[in-house]
Amino acid sequence: MPHNPALNEWNWYIVMLSQALIGAISNNVRKISLQFTDDAWIIHTILANESTDDEEEMFEVADDLLTYIDDVKNQISVQTYKKIAVKVSVSKKNLTVVTHDKERIIFKKKE
């Protein structure tokens, strides 16, 4: 049966991701969302233009997030404590809203 993180578990990941993102968001970043799957938490970043610097920055953010979550892993369930993956996309299309309960928007650039 698929697991849905509890509200307090979402909150831990959102707060820790917000901390990890401090100073990491360039003008090229359009949107960052956090998604939960059965295998991993995914930091999905949408860029306006291709950028290896921004992509590398998101991998560093994922490493920081994992470090922060390790500090509070006794506050979250075993089913919720998963690896952290990074997905980077480039798109100039209109940004969509969240359409399911396993995703949260962390950052969205005003356009």
Kindly list the averaged pLDDT for each block of 10 residues, start to end, along the chain of length 111. Answer: 88 97 97 95 98 98 97 94 97 82 93 85
- Domain CATH number, residue 52: 3.30.70
Q: CB of 47 within 8 A of CB of 28?
A: yes
- Confidence (pLDDT) at 6: 94
- Confidence (pLDDT) at 69: 97
Question: How many domains does the chain contain in total?
Answer: 1
- Residue 29 maps to a domain: yes
